[in-house]
Amino acid sequence: MDSISEDKNSQIRRPNPIDVHVGGRIRLRRMMNGLSQERLGEQMGLTFQQIQKYEKGANRVGASRLYQLAQVLEVPVSYFFEDLETGGGSSNAPGFAEGRSQDFVLEFLNTREGLELNRSFVKIQDPEVRRRIIDLVRSLVDEPTQ
């Protein structure tokens, strides 16, 4: 089923934001499990192209397929909806930046580099070494430390 909807003011078709969010959570969990799109597709009985479409939100994931994904990726179905902005909360109100910062973190974790950095960083057991890495990264950016 196609999840792309028409914008009322133009003919541009955009994926439904909920489908994009669910797709991003599928991608995040797939990458955390070290699975390629092809491998996940094999486990699901789908092509990697279909997995790609789900991850981009171009195709809506049906309930039975979402349940199957949850089993294969070893998460509860609710995982795919965690951190979903419903539009009714105060995080979308002017002056509240928490929603945007969470989006940034999820976007970063959805990249290969973000996931690799996170996996490696959590394996470092010495807190002093972790602190030095954070200091090093901060020294490499132009922003002042907080």
Domain assignments of the chain as residue spans, ordered by start = 1-84
Whether the CB-CB separation of 20 and 57 falls below 8 Å is answered with: yes
pLDDT in tens, 84-140: 876 544 444 444 444 454 566 667 777 788 888 888 888 889 989 989 988 898 888
Q: Output the pLDDT for position 84.
A: 81
Residue 23: pLDDT over 70:
yes
16-42 average pLDDT score: 91
Residue 31 has φ and ψ, to the nearest 5°, of: -70, -40
Name the percent of the chain in helix, strand, coil, to the closest 5. 60, 5, 35
What CATH number has the domain spanning 1-84?
A: 1.10.260.40
Q: What is the pTM for the complete model shown?
A: 0.63
Q: Output the pLDDT for position 64.
A: 96
Cα 119 to Cα 139: distance, rounded to the nearest angstrom: 22
Q: Output the pLDDT for position 96.
A: 42
Residue 39: pLDDT over 90:
yes
Q: Output the pLDDT for position 5.
A: 55
Q: Output the pLDDT for position 34.
A: 84
